Amino acid sequence: MHGEYKVPGGKLVVVDLDARDGVLRDVRVSGDFFLEPDEAIHVIDRALEGAPADLDAASLAARIQTALPPGTQMYGLTSDGIGIAVRRALAHATDWTDYDWQLVHMEPQAPALHMALDEVLTHEVAAGRRAPTLRVWEWASPAVVIGSFQSLRNEVDPQAAERHGVTVVRRISGGGAMFIEPGNTITYSLSVPDALVQGLTFADSYAYLDDWVLGALGDMGVKAWYQPLNDIATEAGKIAGAAQKRVVGGGAVLHHVTMAYDIDAAKMLEVLRIGKEKLSDKGTRSAAKRVDPLRRQTGLPREAVIERMIGSFRGRYGLTEGKVTDEEMARAQELAETKFGTAQWTTRVP
């Protein structure tokens, strides 16, 4: 069995092993990390040899930590990362490069249709009728996108939303509200086979699926990192939020991210009801300080930021131009009319 895991902000960890009679055998850990002293790599192998095959990643990491000699230094490597690589090997997880990725980047669409396209395309990936897909969104109008479980009245001021021409829609994933303006927002979705995140906890899958965009931002001079559970942050503040949804019955995962390229903070504060508890949790007194747009940090036009993000993904994993099929679009339009554009769905948590 073979498992790989790139530690967020670190290096690739590879584990090759067998599982016989319920325990790990012939364990070999490798990768492009740095480790001192040299013999610590053999200590790690021995710590995992004979371990019960049903141990979770944290328990495997604890075995490694207990066995490591005093003064061991890991660079680009963590015990937790090794434990995750083991779990991915046992789960027969796939890697990014195992797939032929497809890009969908189409003309601006209405907010409700974007919600529907996420659901339709991810179900198509789950059914094996669509290749794993990176979809870059273009917005036809301003919007607030609330999480699947958020209270509409607690999150949005309806009078302010109407005054500013903001459409409120509810997505299928959890998480918080996103304030959208077409020229100020960068949004993308990943619809991926669930085999890609096998062996990862729900929290670890966020970091794993966000890692490529951290690299893309780094190439643009933005030092960014994953901040649990679902934020992408910089020293100047949060720049993005992510959310996920698993297809019922398995088969695929939807991971989508909204990034602030620029923002009208005053308008956002009128439309969104951002509570004191949320501000306190983020360690700031002002909601306007919670988001630091990419325009200032990169100095690049929005279109150039998107182009570089797509180029970075293509350089890492390969990416061919794709499109939404006529059948997929018809299903999405029907869902937009019968579900995502209805008051029943939007107010399902009043």
pLDDT in tens, 55-75: 999 999 999 999 999 999 999
pLDDT of 314 reads 98
pLDDT of 7 reads 83
pLDDT of 278 reads 56
| 56 burial via Cβ count (<10 Å: 0-12, 13-18, 19+) | middle
Q: 179 forms bridges with which residues in the sheet?
A: 144
* Cβ atoms of residues 163 and 144 within 8 Å: no
**Residue ranges in the chain whose pLDDT is less than 70:** 275-290
Judged by DSSP in three states, 220 sits in coil
Q: Which amino acid is at 93?
A: A
The pLDDT > 70 percentage for the chain reads 95
pLDDT of 283 reads 47
pLDDT of 9 reads 81
